[in-house]
Amino acid sequence: MMKTKLDLGIPHSDLASCVSCGLCLPHCPTYRVTQEESASPRGRIALMKHAADTGFIDEEFVEFMDACIQCRGCETACPAGVEFGSMMETTREALATQTSYQRWWRRVGYRTLGWPNFLAFGSRVLSVLQLVRVLPKKLGLPQIPLVQRKLLSSGNDVFLFTGCIMDAWMRETHRAVQRVVEATGNGVQFPSKAAACCGALHVHAGLGDEARRLAQRTMAAFPGEAPILVDSAGCGAQLKSYGHLLETKEAKQFAERVLDVHEWLADHINELPQKPEKSGRVAVQDPCHLRHVQKSHQSVYEVLGRYIEAVPLDDEGLCCGAGGAYSAFHPDTAADVRDRKLASIERTGAPVVASANPGCLLHLRSAGLEVRHPLEIVDSLIAKDV
C-alpha cells in the first residue's frame, strides 16, 4: 500500500492519555456494528499514535479515520478523560491540508452551506423535483417548502440562531421554537444573513480555515449581549466551541452567550404556560452533540416533561448514525447504526420520537418513524385547549 507523509500535529501527551482499557468500545457506534478494532476509539487513537511516531500514513489509515462519526460518545465513556473529539478534528485537518482527503467537489459542496441565496435556490429546485415526484423517497429528504415565509423578530431579549440547511428546509421548526420562547414573555430576534452557517460540518471534514472564516462572520451577526439560543444540537455545540476554535477573547465571550434553546427554557420553566395534565408519551432521542458534547440533554426532558411523558432510550446515548454529512458519505454504516437506535426506540413503545437535532431527525424519519423537534411538540401542546 502507498505510504504518504503526514505531520499529524497532535501532542504526544494527548495521544498517550489513552491507557487502552477499552471501556469506550461498547459506546462507539462504529465499533458496535463492526466489532472491528480499527473502527473503535481505542483503535483510532492507536492508529494516530502510529502515524505520529512514523510520520507516514497509507490509504487504510485515511479510510479508518473517515469512518468515525465524530459523535464523541467515547469521550463520555472514557474514565481517563481522553479528548477524542479534538484529536480527530486535528487529524482530519491534517489530512485535508496535507493530502487529497477532501476532493474539490466536496469542498465546493461544503462551501455552498455558507451561501444562503444559493442554498435557497437549490432547495427550491429540490422542492420542485419533489412535487413532480422524481426524487426517490429513500433519500430521506423532508418535504422542502417551495415558498418560504420570512421569520419576523418580536423583540430583543434573545437571539435565535437559524443556520444553513435547517433554515432552508425546516424553517417551520424555527417558527414553532419562536412561539414557545415567546410564550415565556420574551421577544425573539433573528440574526442577519451573515450568520449563514456555524461551520460544524466544515470542522468535521477537516476544513478548519473555512470553519474559522464562518465563525468570524457568524459572530459579527450577533451584536450586543443577548443570549444566543440554538435549536439544532449540532450547531449549538459548534457555536459553543468558537472560543476553542479561534482562541480569541471575543470568541470566548461569544461562546458564553450560546445556549441550547432547551437549556434556556429549563431555566425559565415556570414562565411557560401550565396545562392541567400531561398528554401521551414520546420517546426522546438524545442527539450526541447535546448529550456527549454540550452535556445538556436533561433540559429536553425537563421542558418536554412539563407537557408529555418523555421516555428516555435504553442505549446510553449511543449515536443514531446521522453524524452531519456522515449518513450521506457512509450510508451503509449509518443505516446499521440506525438499526440499533430503531430497536431501542421500539422498546419504549412510544408512537412518536422527539429529536433536538435536525440531522438526527431526518435520518430517523427516513426509516419511516414519526420524528418531531421537541419544541414543535411543546408548541402544539401549548396551543391545544384542554
Partner 1 sequence: MVQISTDAKLFEDLEAVLGDRARSGDFELGLYGKDGSVLQGKPAIVCLPLDTEEVRQIVSICRAHDRPFLARGSGTGLAGGAVPVGDPVIIATAKMNKILEVDLDDRIAWVEPGVLNLDLSKELSPLGFHFAPDPSSQQVCSIGGNVANNSGGPHCLAYGVTSAHVVAIEVVLPDGNLALLGDLTAEPRGYDLRGLFVGSEGTMGVATKVAVRLTPNPPAVRTLLLDFADVRDGAATVSAIIAAGLIPAALEMMDKRAIEIVEAFVNAGYPTEADAVLLVELDGLPGGVEHGVDVVRTVAARHEVGNIRVAADNAERELLWKGRKNAFGAVARIKPDYYLHDTVVPRGKLVEVLEKVYNIADAYDLIAVNVFHAGDGNLHPILAYDSNEPGVLERVHAAGRAIVTASIEAGGVLSGEHGIGLEKRDYMGMLFSAHDMATQDLIREAFDPQGFANPLKVLPSGSRCSDSFHQHVPEGAWV
Ligand X SMILES: Cc1cc2nc3c(=O)[nH]c(=O)nc-3n(C[C@H](O)[C@H](O)[C@H](O)COP(=O)(O)OP(=O)(O)OC[C@H]3O[C@@H](n4cnc5c(N)ncnc54)[C@H](O)[C@@H]3O)c2cc1C
Q: Footprint of partner 1 on this chain (CB under 8 A)?
A: 1, 12-13, 16-23, 25-26, 35-38, 43, 46-47, 50, 57-58, 60-61, 64, 78-82
Q: How far apart are CA 281 and CA 302, in angstroms?
A: 14
353 close to 283: Cβ distance less than 8 angstroms: yes
Total binding residues for ligand X by CB under 6 A? 2
What does 47 bind: partner 1, ligand SF4, ligand X, none (CB cut-off 5 to 8 Å by kind)? Answer: partner 1
Mark residues 65-104: x for contact with ligand SF4 by CB under 6 A, - for none: ---xxxxxxx--xx-x-x-x--------------------
240 close to 258: Cβ distance less than 8 angstroms: yes
What does 61 bind: ligand X, partner 1, ligand SF4, none (CB cut-off 5 to 8 Å by kind)? Answer: partner 1
Least distance from C-beta 82 to partner 1, angstroms?
Answer: 8
Shorter beta-carbon distance to partner 1: residue 22 or 223: 22
Q: State which of residues 6, 14, 41, 284 lies at the interface with ligand SF4 (CB under 6 A).
A: 41
160: three-class secondary structure by DSSP: strand
Q: How far apart are CA 238 and CA 163, in angstroms?
A: 11
Binding segment for ligand SF4 (CB under 6 A), chosen from 12-20, 53-61, 265-273, 293-301, is 12-20
Secondary structure tally for the chain: helices H, strands E: 22, 10
The four Cα atoms 100, 102, 108, 113 give a dihedral, to 10 degrees, of -160
Shorter beta-carbon distance to ligand X: residue 42 or 240: 42
Sorted by sequence, the CB contacts under 8 Å of residue 54 that are 6+ apart come out as none
Shorter beta-carbon distance to partner 1: residue 231 or 315: 315
Q: How far apart are CA 206 and CA 210, in angstroms?
A: 9
Q: How far apart are CA 180 and CA 248, in angstroms?
A: 34
Q: End-to-end CA distance of the chain: give it in Å, rounded.
A: 67
Shorter beta-carbon distance to ligand X: residue 80 or 146: 80
Q: Which phi and psi (to 5°) does residue 151 adopt?
A: -85, 130
Binding segment for ligand SF4 (CB under 6 A), chosen from 28-36, 223-231, 309-317, 360-368, is 28-36
What does 321 bind: ligand SF4, partner 1, ligand X, none (CB cut-off 5 to 8 Å by kind)? Answer: none
Shorter beta-carbon distance to partner 1: residue 36 or 247: 36
Least distance from C-beta 333 to ligand SF4, angstroms?
Answer: 9
309 close to 280: Cβ distance less than 8 angstroms: yes
Mark residues 190-209: x for contact with ligand X by CB under 6 A, - for none: --------------------
Mark residues 11-40: x for contact with ligand X by CB under 6 A, - for none: ----------x-x-----------------
Structure letter (DSSP) for residue 207: -
Structure letter (DSSP) for residue 140: -
What does 159 bind: ligand SF4, partner 1, ligand X, none (CB cut-off 5 to 8 Å by kind)? Answer: none
Helix (H) or strand (E) holding 334: helix 331-348
262 close to 303: Cβ distance less than 8 angstroms: yes
Q: Which phi and psi (to 5°) does residue 231 adopt?
A: -105, 15
Residue 80 in the binding site for ligand X (CB under 6 A) = no
Helix (H) or strand (E) holding 209: helix 208-220
Beta strand pairing call for 188-189 and 158-161: parallel
What does 38 bind: partner 1, ligand X, ligand SF4, none (CB cut-off 5 to 8 Å by kind)? Answer: partner 1
Residues binding ligand X (CB under 6 A): 21, 23
Residues binding ligand SF4 (CB under 6 A): 18-24, 28-30, 41-42, 44-45, 68-74, 77-78, 80, 82, 84, 319
